[in-house]
Chains A and B, each alone.
Chain A
Amino acid sequence: MKVGIVIFPGSNCDKDAVWAFSNIYNQEVVELWHKETDLKDVDLIFLPGGFSFGDYLRSGAIARFSPIMKSVIDFANKGGLVFGVCNGFQVLCESHLLPGALLHNSHQKFNCKNVFIKAETNNSFITQKVSKGVALKIPVAHGEGKYYCNDETLKKIIANDQILFRYCDENGNASDESNPNGSLENIAGICNEGRNVFGMMPHPERVVDAELYNTDGRLIFESMLQQAQVV
């Protein structure tokens, strides 16, 4: 699989993603500067975490209009695979490639800690090898991670099986106590209706290297690789 990792001014998790895809999983990786428009025939676009454009105005709002995003949106609209983590998720919501928005955390604090999430469906590129309902320990690092959408959108994403991950406790129970930011229905990750665009606030790319004593992100990466091999 050839992976394009987009770098905006202020991205800071791009190297973690490069390391995960290239050094841990031996995939071909190209780094794509936000001013480029050529996606270099990649199979997957990965939008990394960070603080693109300093989070000015709203997280992801300015990055959404970087030159490369026109190509990314065209790519997604033709069925291309696009995965955004943290700030990447915010950019995808601002681009309207994913429904809803990410608001300031309810408690107004920056969250930088390990949390537990569980997959809600196996019917997606990033969750097909993740056991449903089993808690994965994945770090979050965000100030604006509270997922929100209106009632109509919520009904639609539930009906279409678009909720990929929910925050939970270590036993897989989703509750207010296990919700780190006030996200609607404990939502931690979603996909679009076409099931080719994915976003999540937690950082699976930070937990794939055994040197870091947590490899709970591996099932997400292995899901992507399995699908890529089938394609």
Chain B
Amino acid sequence: MKFAAEINVMPLKALLDPQGKAVTGAMSNIGLSQIENVRIGKHISFELDADDENSANEMVDSACKKLLANLVMESYEFVVKPL
């Protein structure tokens, strides 16, 4: 079966996110100073072949742990849907 994975990788909450900080600063420049705590991560999507949804989840989890996220500085979450 074909599945689609949608993954979000975010900097850990405890860490300074300099990109997010700079973008938060720019919000007041466009008149939206009510917006605060912008944090910027990565969105990754791909398709995969797996026997069932469980094994698709396992594969995506393994891809996140081994390559897509560095758990020293990032966290991840994902959604897998059959295509």
Contacts and interface: CB of A to CB of B under 8 A. Distances in A.
Interface of A: 57-58, 61-62, 65, 93-94, 100-101, 103-108, 148-150, 182
Interface residues of B, number: 11
Contacts of A61: 67, 70
Given A61-B67, A65-B67, A149 B72 contact: yes
A106 B16 CA distance: 8
A101 B67 CA distance: 14
Contacts, number: 31
B22 A101 contact: no
A44 to B, nearest CB: 26
B19 A148 contact: no
A100 B70 CA distance: 10
A108 B18 contact: yes
A94 B69 CA distance: 10
B30 interface: no
A58 B16 CA distance: 16
Nearest to A153: B72
Contact of B68 (A57, A148, A182): A57
A107 B15 CA distance: 14
Interface of B: 11, 15-16, 18-19, 22, 67-68, 70, 72-73
Contact of B16 (A57, A65, A94, A182): A182
Contacts of B73: 101, 103, 148
A111 B75 CA distance: 27
A140 B50 CA distance: 45
Contacts of B67: 57, 61-62, 65
A104 B72 contact: no
Contacts of B22: 108
Interface centre among B15, B68, B72 (most CB of A within 10 A): B72
B73 to A, nearest CB: 5
The 7 closest A-B pairs by CB, nearest first: A101-B72, A108-B18, A101-B73, A104-B18, A101-B70, A58-B70, A106-B18
Nearest to A182: B16
A94 B18 contact: no
A148 B70 contact: no
A100 B19 contact: no
Given A61-B67, A103-B73, 15 more contacts: A57-B67, A61-B70, A62-B67, A93-B72, A101-B70, A101-B72, A103-B11, A103-B15, A104-B18, A106-B16, A106-B18, A108-B19, A108-B22, A148-B73, A149-B72
B64 to A, nearest CB: 12
